[in-house]
Structure 1
């Protein structure tokens, strides 16, 4: 909002002004109106790019690339994901369903309290021998071997450039485009993680 303002309102205003200029130009040619029309079209192009960027980021999807302006689709996908991510009803232990928020909150707290208490955890955790798979010595040597810079680079470049943000808020595209400058730093961070 601080950088772009309200994109949708700006787009509507520019489209209305453009429509008015085009109607005026139908009545007669005016150099000022022709220049204003060109300026408004440039402004509209900037607003459409900002809108595309906004919905691209909000939709978190790779469907849009290289100029498609399918913002209606991305708007709908963002809204549907928002609806899907909400729990509206829970089935209570007695088999009935409830959508009362206070009952749901209490039921969720009770469920996790029971799940995470030491008595319930100790009885539900299987023995260590049945949980962990025993690897052979050659596999363990491979797992414990030092990582190489080429291995880190291959994994980083295998990532979708815009799929997920890192803890620093940067997409993989940043590291991919700036590998020459940041490659050594990234490799040292990854190596330190595995060594410590």
Structure 2
């Protein structure tokens, strides 16, 4: 029916528009205290107040809230082991575990360079 009558300035077109407008209209709203609001100006005020509260910063320490939300996922001992400087043997084992033909690292040198020049650059 829309295809045949929709482009004409007809009663059907206006009825469809009125129906859409009625669905998109907010006629009743409830504020944060649970009171029902019917007037358009009051509805706009309730919506404005809601978003003003949502996007207003509050004073206080954010660090405390963040620290309460973050729980340690590793132990102190594991953290110590992860942050310690690796031994020369660990570096050597890691370098030689990389295939020589792999792509170069951010410094532009491939594993093959480190393998062939380890005597000079190892320390």
Question: Normalised by the shorter chain, which TM-score bucket?
Answer: 0.3 to 0.5
More helix by share: 1
Q: RCO greater where, 1 or 2, for CA within 8 Å and sep 6 or more?
A: 1
